[in-house]
Structure 1
Amino acid sequence: MKHSHNTAILVFANSAQTELSRKPMPKGELLFTGLTQDTLKKVQATGIPYFHISETQQKGTSFGARFTNAIQEVFESGFENIITIGNDTPQLKTAHILKAHAAIQAGKTVLGPSLDGGFYLMGIHKSNFDRDSFKNLPWQRFNLFQRISALLVQTDSTVHQLPILNDIDSFYDVKRLASFRKSISSTVLRLLALVLRLGQEFQTILISFLSAVLLQRPHNKGSPLLLHS
């Protein structure tokens, strides 16, 4: 599959160890490794040049600074358009990336909204990117999609919106995503099932332990009533 080389994909994804420190869950390192491998496989299937920038290459003291600096770095490599994605949206497919690429080639910007109010994909042209404006957006907050949409409109962009997808930020997200069997690869589904099973076992053990502790605690019937003459 061949494409013009004015567009690159930026996979902005940390190592499994770093992801686990931010999103603790049973077998999380195995899950995040699998998610990154699954994402890169889908990216490679597009035939579009890509960069995978993890925490070892990122520059900046905040998420916003690190992300915008990574975008700037790709633009400075000679590309006119960038499609940015992470590794935490297992419902993302190669087709979503190709649709974003087609929209960019048609002169549009692209956003793929996440259920939590952020976005899982952004496709922008160099002329629509201002590093300072992007760095000051409310990154990792629920109103990010709304704010970045407004910013792109200010640059006279026509925004093409992709379907809303779920991403993984917590064990609760794993429970929700495990039911989306038709939209997730079998490899990732097996990892989600493993995390879910171990997490539920841990919760059962914790509940049993707390119940036992409470049952052993002496019951306080209250202080004796003082009688006054």
Structure 2
Amino acid sequence: MPYFYVSLTTRKKIELNSQGTTAILVFANSAKEDLVNKRIAKGERLFSELTKSTLQKAKNSGLPVFHISDDDQIGSSFGQRFTNAIASVFNTGFTSIIAIGNDTPHLKTQQLKLAAGQLAKGKTVIGPSKDGGFYLLGLQKSNFEISEFQKLPWQRFSLYHKITMWLQKESSELVKLPALQDLDCEKDLKSILSFSDDLSPTLFLLIAQLIKRKRGLYYTNQNFSSSYPNSFPFNKGSPAVSFI
């Protein structure tokens, strides 16, 4: 089966793969942009490797692959950018899409193939992430409505609940994959490393190094606090989170 890797910067029509009409959308920012959003110090090499690894898994599925990064995204909010990315792939002629990010290291090619098989049967597929979102969305073009899709509570803890309700209303059958841990911030590193058997050696080493560095900074701060009990390191605080 042919493999197509397409950046939508060119906005080219591509030939549909010979065994179906499903494409994979890898919606993943550049390492530089991930570094800003994920708040993982010194994590640029990790983000680069995550994208590289995700694209390779997508390629191994044998399906056409679109990678839409910062320069290709259109919209002011995450929901707008993600929705427009999906619409762009559908506009090339595909009738179903498997949308994934680069932040789920335990995702396997086998799960992509499973999703493609379910889509070929007319079903819809979702893979829930443990933070209330999803790491994989297998969507039929017939069930995709841009205006309704953009109204979903993107980047909120209630996203998985809301989108499953919407998909169940729009599609004939919704297939749910096992929940996986995604990588949003430093506290997720340890959880991901606890399932190291599913990680590549490179990802394992990069995550282990970041955890080791974080522990070193923690002990340095502890020693500083003991020596200067009246001093407090600057902390800009965590962002507010909506449960809507």
Same fold (TM over 0.5): yes
Deviations 1:103-162 (A, max 9, x none): 000110000000011000000110000011111101111111110000011113300111
Counterpart position of 1:227: none
Alignment equivalent of 1:133, drawn from 148, 151, 154: 148
Aligned-partner Cα distance in 2 for 1:203–1:40: 34
Instruction: Give secondary structure in 2 for the equivalent of 1:110.
Output: strand
Tell me, yes or no, if the aligned pair for 2:20 and 2:120 is still in contact at 8 Å: no
Counterpart position of 1:224: none
2:158 matches 1:105: no
Counterpart position of 2:209: 194
Tell me, yes or no, if the aligned pair for 1:36 and 1:87 is still in contact at 8 Å: yes
Deviates more, 1:21-30 or 1:8-17: 21-30
Alignment equivalent of 1:34, drawn from 37, 40, 49: 49
Tell me, yes or no, if the aligned pair for 2:125 and 2:175 is still in contact at 8 Å: yes
Counterpart position of 2:83: 68
Q: Where do 1:15-34 residues align within 5 Å?
A: 15-34=30-49
2:111 matches 1:92: no
Q: 1:147 to 1:209 in 2, by over 3 A?
A: same
Tell me, yes or no, if the aligned pair for 1:58 and 1:69 is still in contact at 8 Å: yes
Deviates more, 1:2-11 or 1:130-139: 2-11
Aligned-partner Cα distance in 1 for 2:174–2:69: 28
Counterpart position of 1:116: 131
Counterpart amino acid of residue 173 in structure 1: D
Aligned-partner Cα distance in 2 for 1:169–1:78: 33
Question: What is the RMSD computed on CA atoms of the aligned residues?
Answer: 1.5
Between the two proteins, what is the percent identity of the paired residues? 46
Q: Give the Å deviation of 1:5.
A: 4.1
2:172 matches 1:157: yes
Instruction: Give secondary structure in 2 for the equivalent of 1:51.
Output: strand
| Structure whose CA Rg is larger | 1
Alignment equivalent of 2:185, drawn from 170, 175, 188: 170
Deviations 1:37-56 (A, max 9, x none): 11011011011001000111
Alignment equivalent of 1:52, drawn from 67, 87, 93: 67
Counterpart amino acid of residue 68 in structure 2: I
Deviates more, 1:18-27 or 1:139-148: 18-27
Q: Give the Å deviation of 1:215.
A: 6.8
Unaligned runs of 5+ in 2: 3-17, 233-244
Aligned-partner Cα distance in 2 for 1:156–1:205: 54
Q: 1:216 to 1:78 in 2, by over 3 A?
A: closer
Q: 1:126 to 1:205 in 2, by over 3 A?
A: same
Compute the TM-score of the two structures, normalised by the length of structure 2: 0.86
